[in-house]
A and B are shown apart, each in its own frame.
Chain A
């Protein structure tokens, strides 16, 4: 960062914010207004969507949207690139599937077990990885995730190559029959919205502000007296817990937990969804996830392998719109920002 007279002239004085703050309240930022606008449009659309699209496909999209949003909490808002998130997603899928099938737990408890699995694994992974930076952090998370993959392959309860199949969907809270796709869709949507709201709340909380400060300038955050490792660990565990929630829901929707869920490809896929949609934006990862899931579903019938197409899109994304879809849209609406 160099000081030039040019930058001096380009500085915004932020008069709007100043006026609002003078009135006693901080102004609602543009991002916040847009966020509300998107939410007001998107929620009704999500409610009517299963009447126009296949509900199982929509549920898949929701599960991956939650997974990517949870991942983004760590990468986009905490500045930490984990390459082991498949362990939380897939590990939770196995536990939820086992809980529903073998222990006979109802839907809500089985999915909760998934979130608890994510929490536990996140605590262990986080405690080990958090002291490392950058690529070393990514490598430690990858190595730990591969250990979980090995366990999934070897442990008796996971069914090895077959995975856990024919997981019963059960009855939600003892009243709603989830074998009906539409019922399961609305339950999935409800959980998704609640988890998404929690992510939004976290980003815009006192904790979220410190987390952002740590991402922006870690030594300075330390010198202000913050124990940055504790903040990072909380971000890691939150992210892992919500990834586990997504994995548990996914296992019930597809009635299946398999090695695909814990494979390192899954960790790569969530990175791709997040970058494609826009890392560090609230809605970006969900948009990226929906896009990737849609491509996987609708391109499956053509001859070119799907990974090739998604790879090509990713290259275009990196070359032409580095901030991701939502990131670029935000930048267009805010031309003053770099």
Chain B
């Protein structure tokens, strides 16, 4: 196992009733890098993502994380090993406050989450850390607001704060910029760069400017298979990639 690789797949394949959505993907994500997964619509990015986070079971192939096989692991268990995902549709707990959203993630390590006979007061010492996380993503003024009442961009920031509460070794972000306005994109980009400083990030993203800006390495998927891989400069100059995007109506 190569030391610098944190997440690796070999021949990862997913079939849906004969339709091959992901076809023999070999992917290697280097530790402490920001790796982007791009490709035209229907290329299998989201399926690939769901396979990596165990929300789908692969038909064939293996996934290793930190040198250990996680192909058969449950989605909750890989999260506990430090591989935490986000969702395309911003995933917050809408009828809980911003602070509670972060607290529910923080309390996972507390070991009291099954204790229904204890008062929440036994977790009060997590509040300080929760407030720091809320502040780190620029949501201090919303700390007591219901998460569902936040504007969309702020919900993204909250989701990242909640993910950071788990102190993940690796974050998988599913289209972090989907549905965001220009101003929010700038803010969330900066946030991702900041939190990626000592972590690994793998993201699926459509916004090429963001991809160019953030990624150290890019894998291009087309029709479920890897088309090419490289830096933004290498990938964007590749005639195959231009062909793939032109062919599906992008420029």
Contacts and interface: CB of A to CB of B under 8 A. Distances in A.
Interface string B148-180: 111111100000001000100000000000010
A206 B122 contact: yes
Nearest to B147: A216
Given A205-B115, A220-B93, A234-B116, A13 B108 contact: no
B118 A205 contact: yes
B96 A212 contact: yes
Contacts of B96: 209, 212-213, 216
Nearest to B74: A227
B76 A225 contact: yes
Interface size class of B (residues with CB under 8 A): 35 or more
A205 B107 CA distance: 11
Contact of B145 (A2, A12, A230, A234): A12
B124 A225 contact: no
B144 A14 contact: yes
The DSSP consensus for interface residues of chain A is: helix
Contacts of B110: 206
Contacts of B100: 209
Interface string A204-243: 1111111011001101111111111011001000100000
Contacts of B107: 206, 209-210
B245 interface: no
Given A12-B149, A212-B96, A223-B84, A202 B117 contact: yes
Interface string B130-153: 010000000001111110111111
A226 B116 contact: no
Most buried by B among A205, A206, A210, A220: A206
Contacts of B145: 11-14
A206 B115 contact: yes
A211 B108 CA distance: 12
A308 interface: no
A176 interface: no
A223 B173 CA distance: 12
B97 interface: yes
Contacts of B95: 212, 216
Contacts of A234: 114, 116
Interface of A: 1-3, 5, 7-8, 10-18, 21, 24-26, 198, 201-202, 204-210, 212-213, 216-217, 219-228, 230-231, 234, 238, 337-338
Interface of B: 53, 55, 74-77, 79-80, 84-87, 90-100, 103-105, 107-108, 110, 112-120, 122-124, 127, 131, 141-146, 148-154, 162, 166, 179, 181
16 contacts: A1-B94, A3-B179, A7-B149, A21-B144, A206-B107, A206-B115, A209-B103, A209-B104, A213-B96, A223-B53, A223-B79, A223-B85, A224-B105, A225-B108, A226-B76, A338-B149
